[in-house]
Amino acid sequence: MRTLMNTLWKAVLLGCFSLPVWANEAVLEKVAIETDVKSIERGAEALMGACHSCHSMKYLHYRDLVSYGMDKQKVETWRGDQPLDGAILAQMGESDAMASFGKVPPDLSLMAKARDGGANYLYSYLLGYYLKADGMAGNHLYPETKMPDVLNVSGTTDAAQHAEIAGQARDIVSFLAWVSDPHEAERIRLGYYVIAYLLVLTTLLYLLKNQIWSRLK
């Protein structure tokens, strides 16, 4: 019985370790997200220029950008004739987008959470464009994509220029990460207090437990 189980167990283990399960998953470039207002504002600016014409962020309102601490003048420019309390909608209508791309570009509010790999996925995707043999731009990470190479990664050969684009992509991704979870900074700050409080409480409970149990002999 035991030897049988042992053999089975070995076979199973060997099988597990030799699995090429993740082999088809592309390797993502890692990106360190920025969390300060300035960088996120830069990201918003880049996004408003490159993405806003087609993509909406319907869970975010223009006012949220102002109350987060972004420059009011810039937000005014971005919103155009849209109301300050209105959701950030794409400049292009859905039917126009359908006509141009064959599908409605997805809403970006939760994009940083909606893909395996999160921010790393978005960063790798934005930088994943290359020039195909037919002279069109293709994407390594998502070959079926209908999105044009908005940052012009495929047309850049200059290293310095490429670094600049990478910085821009990083800002955009940082902004999208903030949009997907605007309370994250508050959550983490509160988390430290909660954990500190619980550590003190648990220590006291432990001491009290020892004291009460010491009555037993």
Verify binding: residue 188, other proteins, rule CB under 8 A.
yes
Q: Is 103 in the site for other proteins (CB under 8 A)?
A: no
Q: Contacting other proteins (CB under 8 A), which of 115, 142, 145, 147?
A: 115
Q: Round to whole Å and give the CA distance between 176 and 51.
A: 11
**Candidates 36-44, 68-76, 153-161, 202-210 — which segment interacts with other proteins by CB under 8 A?**
202-210
Is residue 113 within 8 A of residue 180, CB to CB? The reply is: yes
105 binds other proteins (CB under 8 A): no
Toward other proteins, which CB reaches closer, 12 or 163?
12
Would you say 116 or 158 has its CB closer to other proteins?
A: 116
User: Least Å distance between CB 147 and other proteins?
Assistant: 17
Residue from the set 3, 16, 134, 157 that interacts with other proteins by CB under 8 A: 16
Supply the minimum distance, in Å, between the C-beta of residue 165 and other proteins.
Answer: 26
Q: Does 199 bind other proteins (CB under 8 A)?
A: yes
Q: How many residues does the chain have?
A: 217
Q: Which span sits near other proteins by CB under 8 A: 32-40, 47-55, 71-79, 184-192? A: 184-192
> Which 3-state string (H, E, C) describes the chain?
CHHHHHHHHHHHHHHHHCCCCCCCCCCCCCCCCCCCHHHHHHHHHHHHHHCCCCCCEEEEEHHHHHHHCCCHHHHHHHHCCCCCCCEECCCCCHHHHHHHHCCCCCCCCCCCCCCCCHHHHHHHHHCCEEECCCCCEEECCCCCCCCCCCCCCCCCCCHHHHHHHHHHHHHHHHHHHHHHCCCHHHHHHHHHHHHHHHHHHHHHHHHHHHHHHCCCC
Residue ranges in 151-180 that form contacts with other proteins under rule CB under 8 A: 180
Smallest distance, Å, CB 56 to other proteins? Answer: 13
Smallest distance, other proteins to C-beta of residue 179, A: 10
Nearer to other proteins, 38 or 189 (CB): 189
Per CB under 8 A, 212 contacts other proteins: yes
